[in-house]
Amino acid sequence: MLRLGRREFGTHEPVIMAIVNRTPDSFYDQGATFQDEPALARVEEAVAEGAAIIDIGGVKAGPGEEVTAEEEARRTVGFVAEVRRRFPDVVISVDTWRHEVGEAVCEAGADLLNDAWGGVDPRLAEVAARYGVGLVCTHAGGAQPRTRPHRVTYDDVMADILRVTVGLAERAVALGVPREAVLIDPGHDFGKNTRHSLEATRRLGEMVATGWPVLVSLSNKDFVGETLDKPVKERVVGTLATTAVSAWLGAQVYRVHEVAETRQVLEMVASIAGHRAPAVARRGLA
């Protein structure tokens, strides 16, 4: 059972995490939700379309202007508090690698800390333990925050992913993070080239077999773009295909831009797998 905030999710229940970037330079929406009102409208829309988790980020993942911890907190803390007030049942996640920001957003009502940079600040897990919130443990190949991979090599990329993510998850639980609130993430594109991310996807079942809930962040990423030779705005089909494969292999949480489309994919896969009944079943019965 996965427990985050006020919500509990069954073993075969797919969970959608909607991305809401509080940045002026995000790679996908170019700052569309940097201001409060568009961001709050995005949250309302995402929840209506089926997102159970809202993932709020104050710093773009890629290189760019420096964003201090103080500025990151300014972009996220007040917004977390307002989302908490307006949507008391939604799970609020904050995408940060900094313990100072983690502390501030937990005070404001966050339920989950999404550490996309693989424990580069080990104190972030301590914050999660102190507040009793969840933690995403990600493989980033040892990369420093906001850097791009360059000629990264692995003897076995999935073996490295398992070593790092399971190690981070076990450390988090030892520190006091609730075991049912810890997830592992292969970190597509983070410290990886496209072939690494494709291999991580095809071998995702090995992560699922560890027993830790698996989160995948696939949405419109470079490995999709390079695989299909498509620019950012033309990667939705490739993203949804990768989502379907990940769902079939057992991933549970999906960090996405397109909520409604992802929900249809996940529901279809769940029904094929026998975990969900069809919404309507009239054919051949009337």
Tokens of 22: 């509080």
Q: Active site residue: 171, 192, 221, 235, which one? A: 221
Residue type, 242: T
Query: Catalytic site residue 146?
Result: no
- What SS3 state is found at 163? helix
> Is 85 annotated in the active site?
no
Radius of gyration for the chain, computed over Cα atoms and rounded to the nearest angstrom: 18
The contacts of residue 233 (CB under 8 Å, 6+ apart) are none
Distance CA 43, CA 51 (A): 9
CA distance 242 to 280: 26
- 142 conformational bin, left if phi > 0, alpha if psi -120 to 50, beta if neither: left
Phi, psi of 171 (to 5 degrees): -65, -45
Q: Which is the catalytic residue, given 195, 255, 263, 283?
A: 255
Structure tokens at 6: 């006020």
Find out whether 48 and 260 touch, Cβ atoms under 8 Å: no
Phi-psi region of 99 (alpha: psi -120 to 50; beta: other; left: phi over 0): alpha
- Indicate which residues carry an active-site annotation: 221, 255
